[in-house]
Chains A and B, each alone.
Chain A
Amino acid sequence: MTTDTVAMHMSDGIVSAPVSAVFGLVAAAGLGYSLTRARAGLRAGDDRTAPMAGLVAAFIFAVQMINFPVLPGVSGHLLGGALAAILVGPWLGALCVGIVLVVQALLFADGGLTALGTNITNMALIGTWTGFVVALALRRLATRGRGGLVTVAFVSALVNTVVASLGFVVQYAIGGAGGSSLGTVVVAIIGVHILIGIGEGIITALTVGAVASARPDLVYLLRQSPARTAATATTDGSAS
């Protein structure tokens, strides 16, 4: 196994230092705000959401290790945003993916330190919210039964992967170090991430389906009434 080529996330130097710094701030602000919103969403006496979210983060770390083949010589792995958003909601979900990326960068030298902000922005913020918005839009289907829920999980994960990869395209367009034309990058990135997104969709559908069979009460998307979900997710609400 030649692990030295398999750095799973963006390395340092791909995007210029100023642009990396800007996205470092975006990531810090996004995760900081997510923490305050996640805290407001936790209710006193709720002793299951915190361990559930911790386990979702640990599970995403584990599954991100499993690169699956998508083309000859090309692999992909789960990003996890839609999975986290469906199981624990967008605020805790973004934090779960963000913590995974921090552990990977600091402990496993996976994903550059200066690139941490861009990686968090793409996978934890953009990916999780994209997955959540798609899942929320299809919530009626998700609550209709097992097939509906699994379908929603698949679709939201597929879209989450492709949109998260567009985050890289934007960062490369603004501050890319060069080496390839933007047009080439756009086509290649979208193409390969549609394939990876199918894998992400299958993993997310299997996981959400399994959790819903065992404990439907622990699936955020099924637990929330539409009005409450919209209120806690999109407005400042009256949670506190």
Chain B
Amino acid sequence: MNEDTVIEAKDLTKNYGNAVAVDHISFTVGRGEIFGLLGPNGAGKTTTILMMLGLTEISGGEVRVLGFNPAREPLSVKRRVGYLPDTVGFYDNLTAADNLRYTARLIGFRFAEREKRIADAIERVGLGEFADKRVATFSRGMRQRLGLAEILMKGAQIAILDEPTSGLDPHATAELLGIIRNFKAEGVSVLLSSHLLERVQSVCDRVALFSGGKIALLGTVPELGRQVLGGGYVVDIEADGVGLAERLALIPGVSGVEKTGIGKLRLHADRDVRPEAANEVVAMQGRLKFLGVQEPSLEAIYTRYFEAQPDATLKEGTLHAA
């Protein structure tokens, strides 16, 4: 196992009776990386996560988390990995701090260290003033943040987050994604699962697209974009200038120019041609009002991929039962 690899899954498989929930998946997560497991509900994301934590039996294949085998050394894994379950729950009759105190004692922190870590973690997720409030009064977003505080308090090397943003309003989502980025800044690897593609696209370094228990696609978002959407860059430009369209079409790499409105053009190219396009506009003394490149969106990749393989989406239906 490589020094910089924190999770390594090889042919990981999970069967429930005859139904295959996770089908021979392999991936690695590097240190300090944010890795996204994306896919529809029932595609096998949560099962994969539970296998990594040793919370469900592995039917086949192997997974190593920080060099430990979760099936045989679950305590070593769970001591070093923080987990935020899908719709995390807390004891409503206890305060936020008391909830974390319980976990801290289960982990085995001593009193002084425990109090320091808890206060610190609660402060960092922005729940400082609510530390002594009962969790019953907490909103969903606050509960999710408390869940992240638990992972911070634990001092985990890997944070595994299952659907951290589902059911949150845009503001709460943005806050949560901010905290997740901070994890990365501290060298904590993050593995997060989601079915909300566009929200997690912005934080993930690499993603694995799940479908029917298999990893359909794996890589960075631009890589997947090239792979699935056919490698095109789309540059939108808004400028005035006579004959601009013709001149832009001459830029090497541009395969087509399209008029999308008054003074608006769309270039299709095999690379990012923004600098050249800007040069052209300036050279003909036109006024450049807008210049932008469309990042390939996961949503588009996802939709396109499954349009191309209708049987893959069909199989999902059977897996919902699992």
Q: Do A and B bind each other?
A: no
Identify the B interface with A (CB < 8 A). none
